A and B are shown apart, each in its own frame.
Chain A
């Protein structure tokens, strides 16, 4: 069955578990600043695609890639090039 990519779009809630493996605090309430357009959004509001070999996170304002996460062979690769700043509460 062919599906539109947009129908498979998830949101930041879907990567709360994955980010919970990496960060010490709950991250869907963290605020990320997009390096491309400067929009600030809670991680719970970002666009998430999990069909790629890794997880791709995009800015809900400009759709630029914020973050890529790949997990495999017992390791993580975390690409945060698209996030200028992540702000979150102390644990």
Chain B
């Protein structure tokens, strides 16, 4: 299955939306039934293609949120009001509708459950999506690498998958998650309330001697800042894999 996911020519296929879950006011998870799906790895993405009646096409990439084990393929999409594609996916698409997509795509930004290195996941906003596929995959793996997550959101209400992340942590299987909020300081909040910085990364990240596998995903400025901070801890740049979403949280929306 895993090998099949990396092979073969990319073809467009239609998936039927079978479930829609609102994660935050601007973010929804879309679950698709894809009969032709060859299987995927945690961290991969799909390309979505919309075709207008006049033939105009718009194409965007979205990370896969579901782990390889799941029956449906889930995308979690942030609605960008000036976007061409995301306002259709989050707002117009209904259960039973069909969507054209191709995938799985990518082989660099992937994590396999058999990788036993300590795992460090650093997420900015909707950059948590491919990292959530990794956490979900990890939760069903027979042997679980110890994992730490640093997740930056604007406000409490903007934290995607908040309750599910709490449940994963409560399973007490070697996962710890640290949140930071950049635009709000809620009463009783125990996480950080500032942008990611050197002191925060030093507290959360594995010591250099642990040689962790690191995945960083989010808007481009966030990813660049986080990767620089990790290199500042003397991490080998080759341990760090990054995925940039561009300036707005998604590649053009």
Contact = CB atoms under 8 A, between A and B. Distances in A.
Interface of A: 3, 6-14, 16-17, 20-21, 24-26, 28-29, 42-45, 50, 91
Contact of A26 (B7, B47, B221, B246): B7
B219 to A, nearest CB: 8
A58 to B, nearest CB: 13
Contact of A8 (B6, B45, B107, B247): B247
Contacts of A8: 220, 246-247
A29 B244 contact: no
Contacts of A50: 251-252
B245 to A, nearest CB: 8
Which 10 A-B residue pairings sit nearest by Cβ, starting from the closest?
A44-B108, A28-B108, A26-B107, A7-B247, A20-B10, A16-B106, A17-B47, A29-B107, A16-B105, A26-B6
B140 to A, nearest CB: 24
A21 B156 CA distance: 40
B108 A43 contact: yes
Size class of the B contact interface (CB-based, 8 Å): 20 to 34
B100 to A, nearest CB: 13
Contact of A11 (B9, B242, B252): B242
Interface in B35-66: 45, 47, 59, 61
12 contacts: A7-B219, A8-B220, A13-B106, A13-B243, A16-B108, A17-B61, A24-B9, A25-B7, A26-B6, A26-B7, A44-B108, A44-B241
A20 B241 CA distance: 20
B102 interface: yes
Contacts of B251: 10, 14, 50
Q: B45, B61, B105, B108: which has the most chain A beta carbons within 10 Å?
A: B108
Interface of B: 6-7, 9-10, 45, 47, 59, 61, 102-103, 105-109, 219-221, 224, 241-247, 251-252
Contacts of B109: 13, 28, 44
A68 B44 CA distance: 23
A6 B224 CA distance: 10
Contacts of B105: 16-17, 20
A10 B220 contact: yes
Contacts of A14: 61, 244, 251
B220 A28 contact: no
B107 A28 contact: yes
B10 A17 contact: yes
B36 to A, nearest CB: 16
Contacts of A25: 6-7
B239 to A, nearest CB: 12
Q: B6, B245, B247: which has the most chain A beta carbons within 10 Å?
A: B247
A83 to B, nearest CB: 17
Nearest to B46: A17
Q: B106, B109, B241: which has the most chain A beta carbons within 10 Å?
A: B106
Nearest to A21: B10
Given A6-B220, A29-B107, A13 B45 contact: yes
